[in-house]
Chains A and B, each alone.
Chain A
Amino acid sequence: MEITIDIDNPLPQFEQLIEQVKAAVTSGVLKPGDALPSIRQLANDLDLNSKTVAKAYQLLTRDSIIETKGYRGTYVHPKAKSNAKFNLQEWTLRKLGESIDELREAGVTDSEIRNAFAEAINRPPPAK
């Protein structure tokens, strides 16, 4: 499967990469368990900085589209197809929207919500 990065495209290069991998998974070109190239190989082949490819791989791993098996390399996740259909951005917006609606109903003003959001996002994550 061929992947194309357009350097004139306003969409960031790592996002172009993510979109194309997701499209390949959804269409069945990439199947669960398929091996993916290493970060270094893909970065050199696409003439990109390896940090760009690493970021794309990191986000795809977070979304369970791909998985890293140590020194053996990176593979397509067993549940990649269903995970690729899930839109994390949309889900985050919906959840935030629901919380904002609830706060507005309780009489909290928008500036108070903004301040509280900034404070909450800067708070360190709870220890696991």
Chain B
Amino acid sequence: MLEVYLFLAVFPVQILAMSVLYPARFAQLMRTTLVNIPAERLAALYPEVDVGRAHERFLARYRVANAIVIVLGLALFAWFISYMQRPAWNEGWVRGILTTYFMLQYVPIAMTAWFMKRFDKVHKRTSPDTKRKAVLQRRGPFDFVSPYVFLLAVLSYLLFVAFNFYVAQHPFLGYAGPFVNIAIVTLMFMVLGGVMYWFLYVRKTDPLQTHADRMGMLRMLMNTYAWICILIPIFLSLGFARKMLDMSTWDPFAGTVGFLFLSILSIRSVTTRQRQPDADGFGSGPVYR
């Protein structure tokens, strides 16, 4: 029963993190972004539109979307309290509902990201600036991710490989074999590595983004993905261990803790992305003409 109480304690925290704290930080980031865009530029881009009011209206809708997600989460929480008191509650069911709910928590964010991408596209197309600037400094993954974090990711992967060969000696029902699991995790690492490489060299979409902003954003994204690389083998290994020890009832709690970690990484990503003036030495050097 302990696992049920732990799950019931962690689930509201996860709702609070992903549907209250994250949207609040995200709205703050959007406000800061808008403040950095010159008013005359916005007036030229959107004539006859009160941009400030339109922005507030958008934020109000965003808040409503998140409120719906919170209410749904609390309803689920109430249902879990009654359902999980029963002796024959099904952890597979609970796990499925939790995963669906976590994906639902991302819907308002996905909508906002789509809106911002469209905004940047219009903004870039109509940019009056004829000068393009870049810093003559080579970027590499280790400029953003500490070698220790990289080593942790490698260690996490190697321990996962070793643990899989151990599990193969004592397989449980539904275990796909060590090579299939290693191949899946290797593929995940390759995809995440590819995304990190893409982030490193991608063209900037926001024409008003300063070099310091961009480097800060890159640092945050690269570290978030590096930590996801570390966490994937750990959570999969813990899942195998639970199966081996016949502790599947702990799955909802472990899954929610995993989602909570992802929520914390998401909150970190919008907290460290606050816009700053380009005064950290990058991009403030002399311009050679």
Measured CB to CB, the residues of A under 8 A from B are 1-8, 19-21, 23-24, 27, 29-30, 35-38, 40-42, 44-48, 73
Whether A5 contacts B288 by the Cβ 8 Å rule is no
Report Cα–Cα, A2/B286, bound state, in Å. Answer: 7
9 A-B pairs with least C-beta separation: A45-B134, A23-B288, A20-B288, A8-B130, A44-B203, A35-B138, A46-B134, A1-B136, A37-B138
Closest chain B residue to A8, Cβ basis: B130
User: Whole-angstrom distance from the CB of B133 to the nearest CB of chain A?
Assistant: 5
User: Whole-angstrom distance from the CB of A11 to the nearest CB of chain B?
Assistant: 10
Using Cβ atoms and an 8 Å threshold, which residues of chain A touch B138? 35-38, 41, 73
Interface string of B247-289 (1 = CB under 8 A from A): 0000000000000000000000000000000000001111111
Interface residues of B in 120-137 (CB under 8 A from A): 130-137
CB contact between B288 and one of A6, A24, A36, A73 (< 8 Å): that residue: A24
Using Cβ atoms and an 8 Å threshold, which residues of chain B touch A1? 135-137, 285-286, 288
Whether B136 contacts A37 by the Cβ 8 Å rule is yes
Looking at A2, A21, A36, A44, which has the most chain B CB atoms within 10 Å of its CB? A2
Beyond the given pairs A1-B288, A20-B288, A44-B201, 9 more chain A to chain B contacts, judged by CB atoms under 8 angstroms and listed by A's residue number, are A3-B288, A23-B289, A37-B134, A37-B139, A38-B201, A44-B204, A45-B204, A46-B132, A46-B134
Whether A41 contacts B139 by the Cβ 8 Å rule is yes
CB contact between B136 and one of A3, A44, A47 (< 8 Å): that residue: A3
Using Cβ atoms and an 8 Å threshold, which residues of chain A touch B54? none
Whether A44 contacts B288 by the Cβ 8 Å rule is no
- The verdict on A20 contacting B137 (CB below 8 Å), with A44-B203, A47-B132 known, is no
Whether A7 contacts B286 by the Cβ 8 Å rule is no
Report Cα–Cα, A30/B138, bound state, in Å. Answer: 13
Report Cα–Cα, A21/B131, bound state, in Å. Answer: 17
Total cross-chain contacts (CB, 8 A): 86
Using Cβ atoms and an 8 Å threshold, which residues of chain B touch A29? 285-286, 288
Looking at A29, A30, A47, which has the most chain B CB atoms within 10 Å of its CB? A47
Closest chain A residue to B202, Cβ basis: A44
Closest chain B residue to A75, Cβ basis: B138
Report Cα–Cα, A37/B136, bound state, in Å. Answer: 6
Closest chain B residue to A40, Cβ basis: B201
Using Cβ atoms and an 8 Å threshold, which residues of chain A touch B285? 1-2, 29
Closest chain B residue to A35, Cβ basis: B138
Whether A7 contacts B132 by the Cβ 8 Å rule is yes
Closest chain B residue to A23, Cβ basis: B288
Whether A2 contacts B201 by the Cβ 8 Å rule is no
Whether A2 contacts B135 by the Cβ 8 Å rule is yes
Whether B134 contacts A42 by the Cβ 8 Å rule is yes
Whether A4 contacts B133 by the Cβ 8 Å rule is yes
Using Cβ atoms and an 8 Å threshold, which residues of chain A touch B131? 4-7
Looking at B135, B136, B138, which has the most chain A CB atoms within 10 Å of its CB? B136
Using Cβ atoms and an 8 Å threshold, which residues of chain A touch B200? 41
User: Whole-angstrom distance from the CB of A99 to the nearest CB of chain B?
Assistant: 35
Q: What are 5 A-B interface contacts by the 8 Å CB criterion? A: A4-B289, A23-B288, A36-B136, A45-B135, A47-B204
CB contact between A19 and one of B133, B202, B286, B288 (< 8 Å): that residue: B288
Report Cα–Cα, A48/B203, bound state, in Å. Answer: 10
Whether A30 contacts B132 by the Cβ 8 Å rule is no
- The verdict on A37 contacting B288 (CB below 8 Å), with A2-B283, A4-B131, A44-B201 known, is no
